[in-house]
Amino acid sequence: MPLVQSDYNPPLPFKNGHISTIYSGLLRKVDSLKQQRERLELEDGDFIDLDWSFAHTPANTVVILLHGLEGHAQRPYITGSAKYFNAGGLDSCAVNFRGCSGETNRLFRSYHSGATEDLEAVIQHIISSGKYNSIFIKGFSLGGNLTLKYLGGGNVASQIKGAVTVSVPCSLYDSLIQLLKLKNTLYARRFKKHLVDKLHLKRQKFPELISEEDINNIRNLKDFDDIYTSRAHGFKDALDYYGQCSSLQVLPGIKTPTLIINAKDDSFLGKACYPVKEAEHNPHLFLDMPKYGGHVGFFDAHNISYSEKIGLNFIKEFI
C-alpha cells in the first residue's frame, strides 16, 4: 500500500519531539469523560479492568483502546481518544493491562508487548455481549505492538474490522537501544522506577520467585526484562522476549485494514520501527510517518491530537 502522505504541521514548540512527548504525557488534560469500570475475570485466575465510555446515542461499533508501557486507561492519550470516538458516535473500551488499574494483579506474571492472549480475552468478552457488529482496536506504543502482533498472528475474530496504532516499537530490540541512549535517559529512568516499584509489591506476594538481590541488580530496562519479564512469561531472556514479541516479523500476515502512525522525530524508535517495505508490500497496511509528533504526542488544535483525528477518519472508512 502506498505510504500515507501526512499534512501534520504543529505549532512551533511542538516541532520539537521531546516537547511533544512531554506535553502529551505530563501536561495535557482531558475533561468531561465519564468512564464505567468493569472487571473481566480471566481463565488463569487473574483479572483485567476495563473502563468503558459511550457515544451520546446507542452505537453498534466499539473501539478497544490499549495503553503503553506503565500506562493506564486514565492517561490523556487514552481519554482523549475515548472522548473523540464517543463524540464521533463510537463506544470505547479502554483496557488496563494486568496490574495497571491501580490494583496489583493476582499472579506473578503481568503484561508484556506480546501478550495477545489478554487482548483475545477482551475481544471475546465484547463479542459475547452481542452488542456490537464492529470492533476496532487503537493501540499506543506497547499497546500498538500488541495490536499488530495479534492482527498478524492469525485467528483474528471476524468482528475486528480495522486498527489504528500509534508510536509503535515494531522492533522491540531497536526501541530498547534507543531508550538506553543518553537522549532518552529521563524517560528510561521514569519507566524503570515505575516498573521496579511494582516489582517490590510482587516480591511481597511471591518472595520465592523474586529476591531483593534480583531487584537490586536491575540497572536499566533490559535488566528488568532479563530478571522479570522473561522469567515471569516463559522467555529465555530479554533478547528472546524481544525476538518473539516484536510485531515487525508478523506485519506481512496482517489482513485487517491497519494504520501505523510513527513520527519521524520519535526518540523511542529506531530505523527498524518504520516498516516502509512491509507497508509497500501489504495492501492492508497503511504507514503514516509525520515529520513531527514525538512519542504518543501529536499536539493539535482544540485539544484533539492529530492521531485522534486521523484515527477516527480511518476507522469510519471501514465501518
The band of 1, judged by pLDDT with boundaries at 50, 70 and 90, is: low
Grid cell for residue 33? 469523560
Residues 214 and 288 in one domain: no
Is there a domain that residue 86 lies in?
A: yes
What CATH number is attached to the domain comprising 91? 3.40.50.1820
Could you tell me the pTM of the whole model? 0.98
Residues 177 and 44 in one domain: no
pLDDT for 156-169, tens place per residue? 999 999 999 999 99
In the predicted model, what is the mean pLDDT of residues 6-14? Answer: 96
Is there a domain that residue 1 lies in?
A: no
Q: What is the pLDDT of residue 300?
A: 97
Residues 183 and 214 in one domain: yes
Q: What is the pLDDT of residue 13?
A: 96
Is there a domain that residue 114 lies in?
A: yes
pLDDT for 90-114, tens place per residue? 999 999 999 999 999 999 999 999 9
Residues 262 and 178 in one domain: no
The band of 4, judged by pLDDT with boundaries at 50, 70 and 90, is: confident
Residues 182 and 143 in one domain: no
Q: What is the pLDDT of residue 2?
A: 63
Residues 43 and 106 in one domain: yes
Residues 201 and 151 in one domain: no
Is there a domain that residue 197 lies in?
A: yes
Is there a domain that residue 94 lies in?
A: yes
Q: Domain range for residue 137?
A: 12-171+247-316
Alpha-carbon distance 171 to 272, whole Å?
6
pLDDT for 50-102, tens place per residue? 999 999 999 999 999 999 999 999 999 999 999 999 999 999 999 999 999 99
The number of distinct structural domains making up the chain is: 2
The band of 20, judged by pLDDT with boundaries at 50, 70 and 90, is: very high
* Residue at a domain's end among 230, 245, 260: 245
Residues 271 and 234 in one domain: no
In the predicted model, what is the mean pLDDT of residues 26-36? Answer: 97
Per the prediction, the chain carries an average pLDDT of: 97
